[in-house]
Structure 1
Amino acid sequence: MGFYDNRSQRTSPLLIAVISAIIGGLIVLLFTPLLIQSGVIKLPTTNQVSKAPGPTQVTTVKVNTDITKAVDKVRPAVVGVESIRKADGFFSEEERESGSGIIFEKRNGKALVVTNHHVIENSRNVRIVISTNNNTPKVVPAKILGKDKVTDLAVLEINDKYVTTVAEFGNSDVLKAGEPAIAIGNPLGLTFSQSVTVGVISSPKRTFQANEYISTDVIQTDAAINPGNSGGALINTAGQVIGINTLKIAERGVEGLGFAIPINHARPIINNLIKSGRVPRPYIGVSFLGNLYQLSDGERDLLKLPASVTGGVIVESTELASPAAKAGLKRLDVITSINGKSINSVVDLRTYLYNKTTIGSTVRLTVYRDGKKQSVELELQEAPPNLAG
């Protein structure tokens, strides 16, 4: 008696998958060329090959604006000014102060540079640092032709061997608030030489007491002016120097308050410094105790002034043979006006003398002596060099 196995024959799923893959691959190999030739399958061309994300082309843009043109025109004429001073102390080490200057004239093998008086004040040596075309700075010795503390200006002379550009002076009388202003100089020293900052003319005429001698009109700008910019150029978009950067207000919380000497005010000063090394000025020949508004009530009572007199300057003494001495001015006289212009301070008096009068002209002073008002006329003389500020 035989035994039979009634279970059906089964094929492995793995074997079926392998066989199917082989058959599918053969079909693809056989039929793909036919499908490409018939156009059913299209291969990508060279121009259609995808590229990695990012820029595919470098483009050079040539920027040429009025500002860049102006900077290119003037920048080579703006130089560094290095003042070397002998410091106080046991070892007498040298101190160096850096500022800026503007080359404005070139003749007979020499070049002239204008800068601020405070940059070269009390210096033993002054050197000019010129940037050349290959960016190698050239240091040349400078001679001080003249300086004026009152207007904070000085003129230097150098050999013109490395000078390639001379700045052109513009007209500061036609400036308008809001027009572009470009400052070029060396903020914080020669490391940042010929730095360019841009702003506007905040005010073309701002009366400012620049120092203890005089109140003067300055250009106010919001172009950044920092220590080291002193003596540098403030220019317009035509590439003309319209001002000489001189100071900024650096109080905490204050920004954008820089000032420049108007170039039209600087021109006659520069010419005098070239011609004679100083600025001839009229003077009346007095020294002052101070301003009337600074007195206490008790001190004011000693002068016996009427209550209506609130401003004036108090005479301390007169110079020998001076206009004041010849006119009979005395100690404790109070000058309250000059040519009808009220005087509230010594600065007011000097400002009027320097800006509104000339040597040899006659002025009329209103004076109170022992409380009594009188009028005094005197002829102005040229101030001696040691008294010209």
Structure 2
Amino acid sequence: MGYYDDHSPANQRQKGRRRFVMPTIVGVVLGAVLVLLALPALVQTNILPYNITPNEQQSAEDGGTPTEDPAQTVDLNVTSQITKVVEEVSPAVVGVINLQSQQNFWEQRGDPEQAGAGSGVIYKKEDGTAYVVTNYHVIEGASEIEVVLSDGTRKKAQLVGGDVFTDLAVLKMSSEKVKEVAEFGSSDNLKVGEPAIAIGNPLGLRFAGSVTKGIISGKQRAIPQDFNGDGQKDWQSEVIQTDAAINPGNSGGALINIEGQVIGINSMKIAQSAVEGIGFAIPIETVKPIIAELEQYGQVNRAFIGIEAYSLSQVPTSEWRNTLNLPEGVDGGLYIRSITRMSPADKAGLQPLDVITAIDGEPVEDIIDLRKYLYKQKDPGDELEITYYREGEKNTVTLTLGSQQ
């Protein structure tokens, strides 16, 4: 009544607890001793993820011989390299607003309205003017352009020039309140797998200054482009592939390396439900000469022939074999659909339905082959040898290239 004897459940639990507590205490003490004994060896081998610096002091017992104090100073480095470079580069990444006038057949109505938004990179300040590189498709069709700085300041910008083939454009504006300018790096020595950081404005200014991180997934990827929407390839862009998230609005923003240098201008992604993490940027080595030419001339001056041509592969073989009267050995090339009057092709005597099979001895299969050779290997004023077939006969003509305006 009111108590328990030695065989009661309560007393048995107390005995059990006493038997459990003593081994626990012994285990804790032994564990602490082992840790203290092992700690110096761990420090010397740099296994620990932080630095431990012992405090030295004079010992009273040994007459002043320095001894290690049991107290340790732990130095944790919490500032990452990525955080540092993002802080440095972000002020040079801006928003670019495409404003277009609303108009009908009779008149233009009201102030221009926002038709789209993207990103840009401030790459130079000179004589009170700041220069911004962005994508051509970001400002295409704009009647006015605004640049939004990282602090929210809006500035009117002028289009210096643009180039549809490289999808690049240069803007200029007052350099007032522009604090940072991005540093260009190199895209020639990139390695697959190295870190890549994208900075821009996905979905416009709603998520301005967003940062995503990934790696370089591939170099010199060839992506076909159709500029006029006719279903035919007009150009083939050579781009950097990355898995750093690039979304609508990131276009024109910066792809940077771990050193904070711009290695590419973000341009596009593959937008399919079954695809994730495949974005593309224009290599900075492609960007540099283009923006220099846009600054100087307002356009990129490229060699010009003056033909509208299509690959034979786009026409059923049964049709062109009979219509063009090509020999059996000829199974590829470009057929001329039309010629611009007074163009180099017109002056050289080329005609519609002629089939071009080689330029300067190099075979051509489609318009991309022709443009890549002209734009990368030739300049306006250079001579070009064209091998072509007319009514089944092989001919060769040399023409002087003009300038594409």
- Shorter-chain TM-score bucket reads 0.7 to 0.9
1:188 and 2:203 aligned: yes
Instruction: Determine the structure 2 residue equivalent to 1:295.
Output: 315
Which one of the candidate residues 163, 168, 171 is aligned to 2:186? 171
1:231 and 2:252 aligned: yes
C-alpha change, 1:198 and 1:347, in structure 2 (3 Å) is: same
Kept in 2, the 8 Å contact 1:312–1:344? The answer is: yes
Which has the bigger relative contact order, CA under 8 A and spacing at least 6?
A: 1
3-state SS in 1 of match to 2:88: helix
Instruction: Determine the structure 2 residue equivalent to 1:361.
Output: 382
1:255 and 2:276 aligned: yes
- Measured on the aligned residues, the alpha-carbon RMSD in Å equals 2.3
Q: TM-score, normalised by structure 2?
A: 0.76
Higher strand content, 1 or 2: 2
For 2:175 and 2:382, the matched residues in 1 are separated by 41
Kept in 2, the 8 Å contact 1:304–1:371? The answer is: yes
Instruction: Determine the structure 1 residue equivalent to 2:174.
Output: 159
Q: Deviations over 1:13-68 (max 9, x none)?
A: 9xxx9xxxxxxxxxxxxxxxxxxxxxxxxxxxxxxxxxxxxxxxxx9976322222
370-379 or 181-190, which deviates more: 370-379
Letter in 2 for 1:164: K
Instruction: Determine the structure 2 residue equivalent to 1:264.
Output: 285
Instruction: Determine the structure 1 residue equivalent to 2:391.
Output: 370
Letter in 1 for 2:312: L
1:115 and 2:134 aligned: yes
Letter in 2 for 1:269: I
Q: Deviations over 1:100-124 (max 9, x none)?
A: 0000000111100000010000011
Q: Deviations over 1:325-357 (max 9, x none)?
A: 222111100112222322221122112111121
Letter in 2 for 1:225: I
Letter in 2 for 1:238: E
Instruction: Count residues with an aligned counterpart.
Output: 324
Instruction: Determine the structure 2 residue equivalent to 1:125.
Output: 144
C-alpha change, 1:262 and 1:210, in structure 2 (3 Å) is: farther
Give the Å deviation of 1:381. 1.6
Segments of 5+ residues of structure 2 without an aligned counterpart are 3-73, 228-233
3-state SS in 1 of match to 2:188: helix
Q: TM-score, normalised by structure 1?
A: 0.79
3-state SS in 2 of match to 1:190: helix
Which one of the candidate residues 295, 302, 315 is aligned to 1:274? 295
Which one of the candidate residues 115, 119, 122 is aligned to 1:103? 122
Instruction: Determine the structure 2 residue equivalent to 1:324.
Output: 345
Letter in 1 for 2:313: Y
Between the aligned residues of both structures, percent identity stands at: 49
For 1:375 and 1:312, the matched residues in 2 are separated by 14
Give the Å deviation of 1:256. 1.2
143-152 or 80-89, which deviates more: 80-89
For 1:326 and 1:123, the matched residues in 2 are separated by 37
Q: Deviations over 1:157-176 (max 9, x none)?
A: 11111110000001111111
213-222 or 260-269, which deviates more: 213-222
Give the Å deviation of 1:140. 0.7
Kept in 1, the 8 Å contact 2:90–2:150? The answer is: no
Higher-Rg structure is 1
91-100 or 263-272, which deviates more: 91-100
For 1:163 and 1:170, the matched residues in 2 are separated by 21
For 2:381 and 2:398, the matched residues in 1 are separated by 12
For 2:283 and 2:253, the matched residues in 1 are separated by 12
1:342 and 2:342 aligned: no
3-state SS in 2 of match to 1:168: coil
Give the Å deviation of 1:88. 6.4
Instruction: Determine the structure 2 residue equivalent to 1:220.
Output: 241
3-state SS in 2 of match to 1:330: coil
Alignment of 1:21-40 (within 5 A): none
For 1:320 and 1:211, the matched residues in 2 are separated by 25
Segments of 5+ residues of structure 1 without an aligned counterpart are 1-12, 18-58
Q: Deviations over 1:244-283 (max 9, x none)?
A: 0111111121111111111111111101111111111111
Give the Å deviation of 1:307. 3.4
Letter in 2 for 1:242: I
Alignment of 1:47-126 (within 5 A): 63-87=78-102, 94-126=113-145
Instruction: Determine the structure 2 residue equivalent to 1:27.
Output: none
For 2:120 and 2:281, the matched residues in 1 are separated by 13
Instruction: Determine the structure 1 residue equivalent to 2:335.
Output: 314
